[in-house]
């Protein structure tokens, strides 16, 4: 069994699309729109078979003040430690919030953590 995609609700559909395409090399499919359900989405494909589905619906909006149980983070893999460092610095220079500085984890991987424009945590990692 394998994960095929992760879906994220957002109010900032194009901004998140641009973030994942520009910084993580995603290839974006055509925008899907269902006017009857007031639903729009993009599928962003990455190397391998996994992709993100970014979704917006006019009656879904996040409440940052509420406690939630759910997705803690997801990880995007780089080729090596220098690529983790380089991408982290690029994101910092472009004013994205670096939540976790590059470091070696207890499991031995190397990672940093950035918040996407909606505050979802993305681990930038290599093994």
Using one digit for the tens of pLDDT, what is the confidence trace for 6-50? 989 888 999 999 999 999 999 999 999 999 888 899 999 998 888
Residues 42, 7 share a domain: yes
**pLDDT of amino acid 109:** 86
The distance in angstroms from the start CA to the end CA of the chain is: 22
Claim to verify: residue 76 and residue 56 sit in the same structural domain? no
- Evaluate whether residue 23 is within a structural domain: yes
Statement to judge: residues 86 and 31 lie in one domain: no
pLDDT digits (tens, 9 = 90+) for 61-70: 655 544 445 6
Q: Do the domain assignments include residue 31?
A: yes
Domain count, the chain: 2
- CB environment 15-44: b (16+ within 10 A), e (fewer): ebbebbeebbebebeeeeeeeeeeebbbbb
Query: Given a cut of 60, is residue 51 above it in pLDDT?
Result: yes
Residues 55, 5 share a domain: yes
């Amino acid at each position: 069994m394998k994960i095929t995609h992760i879906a994220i609700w957002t109010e900032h559909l194009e901004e998140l699309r641009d973030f994942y395409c520009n910084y993580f090399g995603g290839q974006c499919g055509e925008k899907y729109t269902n006017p009857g359900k007031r639903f729009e989405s993009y599928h962003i494909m990455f190397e391998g078979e996994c992709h993100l589905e970014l979704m917006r619906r006019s009656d879904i909006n996040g409440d940052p003040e509420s406690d939630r149980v759910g997705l803690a983070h997801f990880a995007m893999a780089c080729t090596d430690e220098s690529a983790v460092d380089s991408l982290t610095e690029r994101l910092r220079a472009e004013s994205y919030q670096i939540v976790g500085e590059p470091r070696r984890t207890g499991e031995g991987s190397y990672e940093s953590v950035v918040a996407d424009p909606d505050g979802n945590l993305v681990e930038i990692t290599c093994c």
